[in-house]
Amino acid sequence: MPTCNGPGVGGWMLEVRAANSTAATLANGRGVLLRRAEREEPAFGGLAIGEPGRPREHFDDQVSHRGCPIRDRETEPARSPHRAVVHTLQRSNRRDTGLYVKLPRSLSNARHSARRQMRVYPRIAMEYDDELRWLLTLPDFERTGEFAGRPDVATMRALLAALGDPHLSPGRARGRPTVHVAGSKGKGSTAVMAAAMLDAAGVRTGCYVSPHLHRYTERIRIGGTPVEPETFASAMATVRAAMEAVAPRFASPRAESQRHGQEGRRFLAFDALTAAAFVVFRGGGVDAQVVEVGLGGLLDSTNVFDATDVVVLTPISLEHTAILGTTIAEIAAQKAGIITPGATVVVAPQRESALDVFRATAAERGASIIEVAAACQMTRTKASADGQEFRIRTPRATYEARLPLAGRHQLDNAATAIVACEELVAEGDGIELTPAHVRAGLASVVWPCRLEVLKRAPLVIVDGAHNGDSAKRMAAALPDFFGASRATLIFGTLAGKDVEAIAAAVAPIAESVHLPFWPHARAADPRELADAFRPHGAPVTVWGDVAAAVDASIASAGGRGTVLAFGSLAFAAAVRECILGIESDMIRLTIQRPAGDRPGASQAE
């Protein structure tokens, strides 16, 4: 029986003992045959890669591959006491999978809890996982980098039509009251703040954001709470059926699709997720919705509204330049694609080159524009690691509030969200927004991986700063909010980012830099990232997994130091899973046996 060792999710290493002659392949598709097992039947015991305190020579039979490299050090450091490790292999399915996983105790407890829930609700758990497995068969830029360009959103509109246009409200000319949010930075934060204030005002609000950190259900929220797996699965099953019905129109090279140049087009995972969100909102009876754009704006799956109450445009920076354009103006033009005729456009503080594009597009489409930087006056009155307090005067009112998020940029996001809610209320529909609603809503915001404190001694912070601009803001927040001038850094990002700009931005605060391999199809090779950080002088170490980098960083920081883990949100989530022992959807699906081939819809762009 072959044995396959490979990376897990969130930094945990998995040891898979396959019960047949083919080595098991992990979710990222990079499992590799390492050695023959001595016994035919799976057995407990043995070492996973990265056993603390064992010399590297013990693992001479490893095959080094991306995500499971040989480390730079002869002996791995002992685990720091912040995280207990259980030295047994756990079986994920006692009947027939032959799959064993070495887990930290915190994750072990999470799995036992999940199993208890699955015993009570086995059908729900199975349906949720079935729908996720189907979703993973669709092209997904977030997860794999597979990008499929499209000339329009005809496929998405056809899918929504087949579902009965769940993004609209019958009987209202402009559809369901909607705040549509696009931008490069802060769009998720702005969206959840706006939704929180509307919820506090008694408006049943649906909020659709992306990406998720640990579970797909995080993307779809009603009343500030992620939907239940059963609700998610039911909506996705409905979308799946509609997609299967619609797909032949775009897959066929003949007849109607050929005349319109639509043959061979596929549905995307983000199409399915967006449609599912609208189905959930319709079924949940929401009164308003806040919708965050996924990528760009003009050709995004969310850009399906002929009329929108409020369009929000958060700060623009260089991102996805191979897709959206190589200048701020070009990227801004893509974002401005969501501006609809007659909408109110709320623009966060911006570069002038982006503002010029937004002003021109709004004028062309007869939309009114409010520039937050010019229209509002804000004063911060208090700041700490737990958040900040401020006073703001908008064109309509004056508010005092507390925001439980660190970073001066979050005040810009809060101001933008407040103005967006004011303008939505101005549209009528019986919605009222008072200073008390604003205060209660902002105080209730929970938004992980945004300068989030995970541990106090040493201070461990995790943040999703993934470009030069956001890294500068993060570095400025360290002394401003946390009283620290230097930090031990843990960094990971997706391929294609401007790592040189990020490295330069954090150089003034870097005590040392730790760069782990981590299990994501788009993860940048940390050995290449090291080349960008080394010229700035701080010691740089490349690690084989997230857990090792976390352990070394915490040990290096000591009881009074600061550890700052940052990078792409997927990486920040992996660090969070490692430290808090969170079982993500991908961890669970990885350690379960796939339930056979499942037919999927013809797929889309």
In CATH, the architecture of 141-443 is: 3-Layer(aba) Sandwich (3.40)
Most confident of 95-99, 174-178, 570-574, 585-589: 570-574
Is residue 123 predicted with pLDDT exceeding 80?
Answer: no
What is the per-residue pLDDT for 174? 67
CA 352 to CA 431: how far, in whole Å? 34
Q: What is the mean pLDDT of residues 338-363?
A: 97
What is the per-residue pLDDT for 592? 65
- The CATH superfamily label for domain 452-587 reads Mur ligase, C-terminal domain (3.90.190.20)
Is residue 122 predicted with pLDDT exceeding 50?
Answer: yes
What is the per-residue pLDDT for 39? 29
Is residue 89 predicted with pLDDT exceeding 70?
Answer: no
Range of weakest confidence among 56-60, 80-84, 197-201, 251-255: 56-60
pTM over 0.85: no
Most confident of 108-112, 118-122, 299-303: 299-303
Is residue 103 predicted with pLDDT exceeding 70?
Answer: no
pLDDT bracket for residue 593 (50, 70, 90): very low
Is residue 125 predicted with pLDDT exceeding 50?
Answer: yes
Q: What is the mean pLDDT of residues 112-135?
A: 68
Most confident of 59-68, 143-152, 475-484: 475-484
Is residue 601 predicted with pLDDT exceeding 60?
Answer: no
Q: What is the mean pLDDT of residues 455-462?
A: 96
Q: What is the mean pLDDT of residues 569-595?
A: 85
Q: What is the mean pLDDT of residues 532-546?
A: 97
Percentage with pLDDT > 70 across the chain? 73
> Is the distance from CB of 236 to CB of 105 less than 8 angstroms?
no
Q: For 283-295, write each residue's pLDDT tens digit.
A: 999 999 999 999 8
Is residue 187 predicted with pLDDT exceeding 60?
Answer: yes
Is residue 120 predicted with pLDDT exceeding 60?
Answer: no
How many Cα atoms are found within 13 Å in the side-chain-facing hemisphere of 481?
28
What is the per-residue pLDDT for 25? 29
> Is the distance from CB of 13 to CB of 48 less than 8 angstroms?
yes
Q: For 138-184, write each residue's pLDDT tens digit.
A: 988 787 666 666 788 999 999 999 999 999 987 666 679 999 999 99
> Is the distance from CB of 56 to CB of 70 less than 8 angstroms?
yes
What is the per-residue pLDDT for 266? 86
587 vs 445, more confident: 445
Q: For 432-453, write each residue's pLDDT tens digit.
A: 899 999 999 999 999 999 999 9
Q: For 12-22, write each residue's pLDDT tens digit.
A: 333 333 333 22
- Where do the H-state alpha helices sit in 78-153? 105-120, 122-135, 141-144
Residue 506, helix vs strand vs coil: helix
pLDDT bracket for residue 407 (50, 70, 90): very high
CA 526 to CA 571: how far, in whole Å? 12
The CA distances from residue 44 to 11, 102, 196, 261, 401, in Å, are 22, 10, 48, 57, 55
555 vs 116, more confident: 555
Is residue 253 predicted with pLDDT exceeding 70?
Answer: no
CA 81 to CA 309: how far, in whole Å? 52
Closest CA to 492 of 460, 525, 445, 456: 525
List the chain domain ranges: 2-120, 141-443, 452-587
Is residue 229 predicted with pLDDT exceeding 90?
Answer: yes
Q: What is the mean pLDDT of residues 395-413?
A: 97
382 vs 61, more confident: 382
Q: What is the mean pLDDT of residues 526-549?
A: 97
The CA distances from residue 466 to 71, 261, 320, 332, 565, in Å, are 25, 37, 12, 18, 11
CA 316 to CA 237: how far, in whole Å? 36
What is the per-residue pLDDT for 51? 31
Range of weakest confidence among 188-197, 214-223, 578-587: 578-587
pLDDT bracket for residue 332 (50, 70, 90): very high
Range of weakest confidence among 112-121, 214-223, 477-486: 112-121
Mean of the per-residue pLDDT values for the chain? 79
Is residue 489 predicted with pLDDT exceeding 80?
Answer: yes
Contacts with 271 (C-beta within 8 Å, 6 or more apart), sequence order: 138, 155, 156, 159, 243, 301, 604
What is the per-residue pLDDT for 145? 64
What is the per-residue pLDDT for 572? 97
Is residue 24 predicted with pLDDT exceeding 50?
Answer: no
The CA distances from residue 451 to 212, 488, 545, in Å, are 17, 15, 22
